[in-house]
Amino acid sequence: MADSSLWAVEAEGVGYSYGRKRVLENISLRVEEGGMFCILGPNGSGKTTLFKILSTIFALQEGEVSVAGRSLRQFPTP
């Protein structure tokens, strides 16, 4: 990942599956500090799953995510 001090949120190569059903594959994004973003897509495209990963409700299965420069792998998941 790039210099994470520039980004409030940075995700690279995020993937997630519910059992054998693949819902996210190779998702990458960067949000600048103080910036806003919108995730658009049809029903069932993985928007809520991505949000739950970013908020640590779901554990990160694949890829890397950092929030405020800290890896999500450092945060406990419920």
Q: Given its phi and psi angles, is residue 46 left (phi above 0), alpha (psi -120 to 50 degrees) or beta?
A: left
CATH of the domain at 19: 3.40.50.300
Structural domain count of the chain: 1
What are the structure tokens assigned to 4, written together?
A: 């994470």
pLDDT in tens, the chain (78 residues): 555 567 999 999 999 999 999 999 999 999 999 888 899 999 999 999 999 999 999 999 999 999 989 999 888 777
Q: The pTM is what?
A: 0.84
Cα gap 10→67, rounded to integer Å: 7
User: Where in the sequence is the domain holding 59, given as residue range(s)?
Assistant: 4-74
